[in-house]
Amino acid sequence: MTTRRSFIKNTAVATAGVGLATGMSTAMSSCIGANEKLKCGVIGVKGMGFDNLKAFLKQKNTECIALCDVDQNVLDMRLAETEKIQEVRPQGYTDFRKMLENKDIDVVIIGTPDHWHCIPFVNAAQLGKSIYCEKPLANSIEEVNIMEKAVARYGNVVQIGQWQRSHKHWLDAVKFVRSGLLGKIRTVRVWSYQGWCKSIPVIENSTPPQGVDYDFWLGPAPKRPFNMNRFHFTFRWFWDYAGGLMTDWGVHLIDFALFGMNVSAPKSVMAMGGKLGYPDDAAETPDTMQALYDFEDFTMLWDHGIGIDAGYYGRSHGVGFVGENGTLVVDRAGWEVIPEGGENPKMERIELTLAEGIGLDNHMENFISCIKNKKKKLNAGIGIGANIARVSHLGNIALKTGRKLYWDQQANKFIGDNEASQLLTPTYRDPWKLPQV
């Protein structure tokens, strides 16, 4: 048997209505010196966009010079808060295109709802900006493809907001999984049970709050009457704007299932579930869902439940690598190994190793260091963000079609299923167009 001590010792803008120039040089982001101040602009500052900004401003030689939000009320609040943090008030914008005209911006942070990631991302890439984009990378697989192509063409430094990639205990767990000590791993369980997420009661449509440019907030999404349920935080429970818990928590957790097993895409996927807990509430995305992915040598189960906290191994969320010698369980609190064999364990038990530090701060530090030194490696670059976004969307598409789907990773399409393939590409509302790269 290997002890925990010995293990650790041995593992050490081409889009309609936007009007931004295309094909611009990346010199703007590549000329930042090691001690030069990085200046950022943030698009979408209600939630994680502002959390990301605060993490950015904790780093040395940083400044926020622009904030953008379609909700003037949120914008005014965040402008005041940012001024309090850095003692300089940024410029405020309600149209991200105007903000991107500011040539002094080195870094663009995108914290908008998922359906509003692709267009500003591609625009910022064309302008040579470094980009920090919230997860999931996009709200459809074709948008993911386009964004990945943009980075390949323009050479931007891009970090995706999968900050667990910068949290040491998650990385230590992956090292242990790959050590082989668990024995053959046949199943990986990934789950998110979120008791704090409650039912969303049905409410009547209303007029948008004063100061909100609702048509701009909808952007490329279908035209719909304003309803507060679809706005701000709860947008993630509506297919027009997001993919529910699968693309919210799933992107973080499934990413580590794939990372630990050193794989990228499944051969097939099938899913079941629906609105089983709250069938009559306002949400569209499932409150209960299981998706089973086939990787040939092992299976991966995604399992989520809204309004329930009791998940596997006494945890509300996590990843469980089920091996023949033992199971490694990891969540945001830490990781441990539970041996097989009962009274005759097949391996040593490893007690809970607690998380340390703040993953988001580490993630932003890694991003900035890679801007200033291109030889350094991003912890969650465009390839990582694109891959896990695709895998999560595959699960949702399988749920929508109600059948087993076979995936061609090289071609980025389903095998022999035209109906499922139609769900890969979104239909944009005029005058917005899917960017071309």
Q: What is the CATH number of domain 27-164?
A: 3.40.50.720
Rounded to whole angstroms, how far apart are CA atoms 172 and 230? 39
Q: Are 69 and 75 in contact (CB under 8 A)?
A: yes
Rounded to whole angstroms, how far apart are CA atoms 318 and 302? 10
372 backbone dihedrals φ, ψ, rounded to 5° = -85, -15
Closest CA to 318 of 253, 260, 261: 253
Residue type, 15: T
**pTM for the complete prediction?**
0.92
**290: three-class secondary structure by DSSP:** strand
pLDDT of the residue at 28: 43
Q: Across the beta sheet with 62-68, what order do the strands follow? A: 91-93, 62-68, 38-43, 107-110, 130-133, 158-160
pLDDT of the residue at 15: 40
pLDDT of the residue at 19: 39
Q: Give 304's Cβ-side CA count (13 Å radius).
A: 27
- For the chain, state the CA radius of gyration: 22
Rounded to whole angstroms, how far apart are CA atoms 165 and 363? 7
**171: three-class secondary structure by DSSP:** helix
Whats the size of the chain, residue-wise? 437
pLDDT of the residue at 36: 85
As given in the structure block, the two tokens for residue 284 are 């569209």
Q: Are 396 and 302 in contact (CB under 8 A)?
A: no
CA dihedral (433, 423, 418, 266) in degrees, to 10, reads 120
pLDDT of the residue at 32: 62
Walk along the chain (437 residues) and give the pLDDT tens digit of each residue. Answer: 334 444 343 433 334 334 343 333 343 444 566 568 999 999 999 999 999 999 999 999 999 999 999 999 999 999 999 999 999 999 999 999 999 999 999 999 999 999 999 999 999 999 999 999 999 999 999 999 999 999 999 999 999 999 999 999 999 999 999 999 999 999 999 999 999 888 899 999 999 999 999 999 999 999 999 999 999 999 999 999 999 999 999 999 999 999 999 999 999 999 999 999 999 999 999 999 999 999 999 999 999 999 999 899 999 999 999 999 999 999 999 999 999 998 899 999 999 999 999 999 999 999 999 999 989 999 999 999 999 999 999 999 999 999 999 999 999 999 999 999 999 999 999 999 999 99
Quote the DSSP letter at residue 312.
G
Rounded to whole angstroms, how far apart are CA atoms 44 and 42? 6
pLDDT of the residue at 198: 84
pLDDT of the residue at 121: 98
Bond from prior residue into 220 cis (ω within 30 degrees of 0): no
Bond from prior residue into 136 cis (ω within 30 degrees of 0): yes
pLDDT of the residue at 7: 38
Quote the DSSP letter at residue 62.
E
As given in the structure block, the two tokens for residue 236 are 């993630």
* Domain locations in the chain as residue ranges: 27-164, 168-356+388-424
pLDDT of the residue at 25: 36
CATH match of 168-356+388-424 with 3.40.50.300: no
- Pairing state of beta strands 334-339 and 326-331? antiparallel
Quote the DSSP letter at residue 76.
H
Rounded to whole angstroms, how far apart are CA atoms 136 and 385? 7
Rounded to whole angstroms, how far apart are CA atoms 59 and 57? 5
pLDDT of the residue at 34: 59
pLDDT tens for 278-302 read 999 999 999 999 999 999 999 999 9
As given in the structure block, the two tokens for residue 347 are 């391996």
Displacement of CA 307 from its chain's centroid (Å): 22
How many other CB atoms are there within 10 angstroms of residue 270's CB atom? 17
